[in-house]
Amino acid sequence: MDIDISSVLAPAAALIVGYIGIEVTRRLSLSPLRTVPGPFLAKLTSAHESYYLITGRSGLYLHELHKKHGSPNSVSIIDPDSLKKVYSEPGYRKSTLFRMFDNPVPSVFSTCDPDVHRRKRRTMAPSLNTASILRSEDLIWNSGPSALVSKLGQLAKEGSPVNICKLFHCMTLDVIFDLAFNRQMKLIEKDDHEIFWRIKRGHLYRVFKVCFPIFYRWEPRWLTSWGSDSAKYVDDLCTKAVQDARKRTPEQQRNDLIGSLIHAVDPDTGVGMGDEELVSETFTVLIGGSDTVSASMTWVVELVESHPLVKQRLLAEIDAVYPDPTTRPRIADKSRLPYLEAVVLEMWRIMSIVPSGMYRVVPEGGRTLCGHFLPAGTMINPCVYGSHRSAQFWPRAEEFVPERWLEPGAEANKQKLMQFGLGPRTCFGRSLAQSEIFLTIAAVYRNFEFTLVDGRPQAYHELFLAPKNSILRARVYRRQDNGTVDAQTCVTAK
């Protein structure tokens, strides 16, 4: 029997058009989110969100939208009080988007289950608290700041421009590999290593699959060959670190993170972590503990070198605490360098290292935030970059002003600073990050200063906010070789 194709296609097309029309009408006229301001297309599709995430502009794009006015089932918020509720109140769970960090099982960072998170946090607390970091201070110093100061001394003699961002990334990876993997990579001494592109490509591979979940069920060959091998390379590094640490004899024990995690137990149950959990936590430390810290220190150098008055005051404070340039900074010295702390805090405010993407899900019953009712299941994308740069909440919001952290009200302002998140899921590695940044910046600026070669870089957001292509070129000078600092002008960060 002959079938008239047109008699089949016409009704099918009518059904498709009708469905699209009904869905558009629902989202524009009936959705509880219809009153939330934003781009027209964002009310119809989340494709634009995936596009800006993959192209490295997510947080900056959201900041511009907040200046002007999320997707059909997500909204972005910058109001500090509302964000505090989202981060702190029970019920707001992390989105399943965090499964990109499950490797192979959920970690303390990626788990969406509050009970699992509490158990992991109890178990891991002694491994990353301030006392533990102090016990590891010598290890951190030797593999990180000390090696970097030696490298900068060599580069200062050569006189050629260097990529500051790459140097800091090498240093932070060296610290993480020594602390969590018991491996002395000494990347700071090498021009290149496959670990850099392996980590980046493996990360992009995971982001791509989260943005396009169909690839969890069916993965094309080109995606496997491009990213799967790199992801497995990183997985194998983490697995081997756990296996090697398990084999240590009592004489081989050291004050490092992986050893502490292996012996950690839940104080409520006396149960430790299995190998899969340990691999997942090691992976989280590698990804979250290197790029965030290196990006932070890169922006400190960029901002200090772009603001001569800030630089002058910072160098004077460091010199006063360490008259002898060979003196090694100590974590205990932090309280003696309040302006250095203010510089770091202001860097975190104006260059939010994690600008957005820490998704939370509205709990059952829905919630009202910023005057809008959000139904259960709505995804909230906290725009930290926009909140930190909003003139509603910060005077001189677009300017780099470290002095704001030394004025009355500074402690209250710290409650609006979300570089480590807020509430019970505050970043678990904050003590390590703060200590590493303090030791490094104090040691580097006691001995060196820089001149930026290519002007101010464009900020780029993949997972973290860093200079585009991870490049900040500068010439390095030993301070006694570069004369005095010109404090006649002050450039404003815009």
Better-predicted residue by pLDDT, 252 or 364: 364
Interval 132-151: pLDDT, tens: 999 999 999 999 999 999 99
pLDDT at 308 over 60: yes
Q: Cα separations (Å) of 87 from 368, 369, 433? A: 15, 13, 21
Residue 200's pLDDT band (boundaries 50, 70, 90)?
Answer: confident
Pairing assessment for the beta strands 379-382 and 74-77 based on DSSP bridges: parallel
Q: What percent of the chain has pLDDT over 90?
A: 51
DSSP string, 210-272: HHSTHHHH---HHHIIIIIHHHHHHHHHHHHHHHHHHT--GGG--S-HHHHHHH-B-TTT--B
* Most confident stretch, 12-21, 185-194, 325-334: 325-334
pLDDT at residue number 215:
80
Interval 334-352: pLDDT, tens: 999 999 999 999 999 999 9
Instruction: Detail the residues annotated as belonging to a binding site.
Output: 427
Amino acid letter, 253:
Q
Instruction: Detail the residues annotated as belonging to a binding site for heme.
Output: 427
Q: Whole-angstrom Cα distance, residue 210 to residue 59?
A: 17
Structure-block tokens of residue 236? 């194998």
Better-predicted residue by pLDDT, 26 or 413: 413
pLDDT at residue number 178:
93
Q: Is 56 helix (H, G, I), strand (E, B) or coil?
A: coil
CATH class held by domain 48-481? mainly alpha
pLDDT at 210 over 50: yes
pLDDT at 205 over 90: no
pLDDT at 189 over 50: yes
Q: Cα separations (Å) of 113 from 90, 108, 418? A: 11, 10, 22
Residue 449's pLDDT band (boundaries 50, 70, 90)?
Answer: very high
Structure-block tokens of residue 130? 């301030």
The phi, psi pair for 377, rounded to 5°, reads 95, -10
Lowest mean pLDDT among 3-7, 11-15, 228-232, 485-489: 485-489
pLDDT at 182 over 70: yes
Residue 482's pLDDT band (boundaries 50, 70, 90)?
Answer: very low
- Tokens 């992991």 belong to which residue? 120
pLDDT at residue number 11:
57
* Torsional class of 91: left (φ above 0), alpha (ψ -120 to 50), beta (otherwise): left
Q: Whole-angstrom Cα distance, residue 377 to residue 129?
A: 34
Helix (H) or strand (E) holding 367: strand 367-369
Average pLDDT, whole number, for the chain? 84
